[in-house]
Amino acid sequence: MTFTVPLGSCADPASARDLSPLFSPRAVAIIGASNDRSKYGNWISVQALRMRDHRPVHLVNRRGGPVLGEPAYRSLAEVPGPVDLAVIAVPAAGFEAAVDDCLAAGVRAIVGITAGFGELGEDGRLLQTALATRVREAGAVLLGPNCLGVLDSTSGLYLASNPLPAGSVGLISQSGNMALELSGILEDRGLGFSRFASLGNQADLGVADLVRAYADHPGTDMIAVYCEDFGDGRAFVAAAADAVAAGKPVVLLTVGGGAASARGAKSHTGALTSDSSVIDAACRAAGVDRVSSPHEMADLLHLLHRFGPAPARRVAVLADGGGHASVACDTAEAHGLSVPEFTPQLADALRNLLPPSAGVGNPVDLAGAGEQDITSFRTTLDLLLADPDVDSVLVTGYFGGYGRYGPELARAEIATARAMGEKVRDKGKPVVIHTMCADSPAADELRRQGLPVFRAVEDAARSLGLLARHALPAHPPKALPDPAPRVPDDGYWTARELVRAAGVSFPDARLVHTADEAVRAAAAIGCPVVIKALGLLHKSDSGGVALGLVGERAVRDAVTDMAVRLDSPGFCVEAMADLSDGVELIVGVRRDPRFGPVAMVGLGGVTTEVLRDVSFALAPLEPVQALEMLSGLRTAALLRGVRGRPAVDLDALAHAVAAITEVASAHPDIAELEVNPLLATPGGAQGLDARIVPIG
């Protein structure tokens, strides 16, 4: 994954750039227009000529002569009148000259189709950065290079290599093929694009710039993003959070399972943090919905388009067979939904409506009622949607196939499908349909009514689960503090004093270099004490920690032994903490190259990487955010007191966690800062160990 920081990205909305020349130009030019059907210059020109009723379209080809039956100019300088937007589709060797020609002609927006820059290595990155700088200095914008084009169906702009369906989804994609696949899936669901921008290499305009432009666009209701490199990740989070706050959901598909990012990790925090966990934290901060495939993206967009951000977690399952009912319930719960037992009132109403053999407790099993009276699907659905304890309904089974039993039942089934659609529109609650007969006339009628129809029950349940999670609140990150002076070294003493100065308590300690100094320090502190050898990253693994030392002989022997085995530059003599009523936690902050400091909290001590009970968020944290992270741990019950153990002071613990994230965020010279363990007790929170991993 190539890391670039788009020059235009900025977390400050006041600095948002004017992208109207990109999406609503008065006139456009295609530089590299071609009659060769194997070239982008041909594909783009074919699409561009569709919009001649909206604006002048000028074809530019250095050889001159007709292109696609239209006159072509040899250079942009020959084009009569101003050009707001130019698409460059020439070989890489001619791209720089083409950009200069555009800027000389007063072009305000450039779309770089041409490849062969940052994706090829450092020389290409330097060249595209220099070009982007020239574009910005001229007051223009550059999309790409190495991109597929741009489209705005609301302004009649068609400058992508392929036609795309019109609609209300704004798409930003770093992959051309992914955009084309998503367009087909969305079109099958009756959706299309208000805008499309291909990110390419993001030399100038980045994903954050485009999200801001889409959020301000009246024709865009939802924003879909496929992105591999976020550049300035904090700018993306800020732009996406603003879009979500404006009522425009942002759905993200990205890549990165995290193995590569952890290869060079040198602390527990680094080993546990992955690309994926960082992106999840960024999504939670911005209120972005993260999906794992184009189909998931399309399904969630479909449900958001149809139902809006409606509650969906408490689902009623309506089936016409026991097998489908049971599988649907298990699948729904596997996707985070709840299938609660119905109230006695709803169960009685269903019992009065359906045959005695029907199941009425959730799931509802019609048990043959469909064959006897196809309208029972509609009447049952009506009861379920009217119940205040039901958020959504999952219909599963054979509906759509009853029409095979004869023309009269076929007509009744289609009429029932139409009536079901009317009921759903009337109630406004989310309803998804799984049917074994997805190609039937009744299923087609359900689709015409706007109901999501699925061939697999797991897809139906997953889409409802995505919608249910959409309602979770955003957690905007706290602003980054001003940079602090560099730390002098990465030793334990420096780490503990840095954290202690931020307000986190540590046991009384002394820094010593000899056994005699250690003996005097232990006497001043009071036994038992802990001896820690300095200069080691994982002191316990190397035998660099001695616990519970009492008396001069024990202290002297421990220091002497470590000095011989470890060649340590010094030692920390520390008071031994009382662990009896405490819970050991880990608090770490790792600086991500895209999203900046990322905080991690979890169960700590020597079992951290074994249990892997951790939570992530963008740092720094407010105490209330720290408390939310702690409460989300699987082992959070330990903090509240279990099996006779007292509860810890959660308020003090949250403030300590927040302080650690604040000090780490203020040090761009620190790659990782970790306190492990942070001992939480009924009396407060105390750091027992700390480590720094410097940048580089």
Residue pLDDT, tens place only, 252-304: 999 865 444 344 444 444 444 458 889 999 999 999 999 999 999 999 999 99
User: Are the beta carbons of 558 and 536 closer than 8 angstroms?
Assistant: no
Same domain? For 610 and 684 the reply is yes
Q: What does the angle CA 181 – CA 184 – CA 185 come to, to the nearest 5 degrees?
A: 90
- Which CATH number belongs to the domain containing residue 527 in this structure? 3.30.1490.20
Q: Structural domain of residue 523, as residue ranges?
A: 508-575
User: Are the beta carbons of 442 and 413 closer than 8 angstroms?
Assistant: yes
Same domain? For 514 and 399 the reply is no
Within a domain: 498: no
Instruction: Tell me how far apart the alpha carbons of residues 509 and 24 are, in angstroms, rounded to a whole number.
Output: 66
Q: For residue 227, list its beta bridge partners.
A: 254
Within a domain: 249: yes
Same domain? For 408 and 274 the reply is no
Same domain? For 107 and 83 the reply is yes
Structure tokens at 318: 């309506």
Q: Nearest Cα to 214, choosing from 248, 179, 167, 175?
A: 248
Q: What is the pLDDT of residues 241-250, one digit of tens each?
A: 999 999 999 9
Q: Is the peptide bond before 363 cis (omega within 30 degrees of 0)?
A: yes
Instruction: Tell me how far apart the alpha carbons of residues 210 and 199 are, in angstroms, rounded to a whole number.
Output: 9
What backbone phi and psi angles, to 5 degrees, belong to 73?
-95, 150
Q: For residue 602, list its beta bridge partners.
A: 586, 614
Same domain? For 19 and 62 the reply is yes
Domain count, the chain: 4
Q: What pLDDT score was predicted for residue 642?
A: 81
Domain C-terminal end among 285, 304, 323: 304
- Residues in CB range of 440: below 8 A, 6 or more apart: 400, 401, 403, 404
Instruction: Tell me how far apart the alpha carbons of residues 289 and 250 are, in angstroms, rounded to a whole number.
Output: 6
Same domain? For 91 and 239 the reply is yes
Burial class (CB in 10 A: 0-12, 13-18, 19+), 66: exposed
Q: For residue 172, list its beta bridge partners.
A: 197, 225
Instruction: Tell me how far apart the alpha carbons of residues 334 and 425 are, in angstroms, rounded to a whole number.
Output: 28
Same domain? For 535 and 663 the reply is no
User: Are the beta carbons of 447 and 454 closer than 8 angstroms?
Assistant: no
Q: Is the pLDDT of residue 540 over 90?
A: no
Higher pLDDT, 603 or 345: 345
596: Cα within 13 Å, side-chain hemisphere: 25
Average pLDDT of the residues of the chain: 91
Same domain? For 418 and 548 the reply is no
Q: Nearest Cα to 27, choosing from 75, 82, 100?
A: 82
Q: What pLDDT score was predicted for residue 48?
A: 96
Same domain? For 30 and 146 the reply is yes
Within a domain: 496: no
Within a domain: 503: no
Q: What pLDDT score was predicted for residue 612?
A: 78
- Which CATH number belongs to the domain containing residue 623 in this structure? 3.30.470.20
Q: What is the pLDDT of residues 550-575, one digit of tens each?
A: 999 999 999 999 998 898 889 999 99
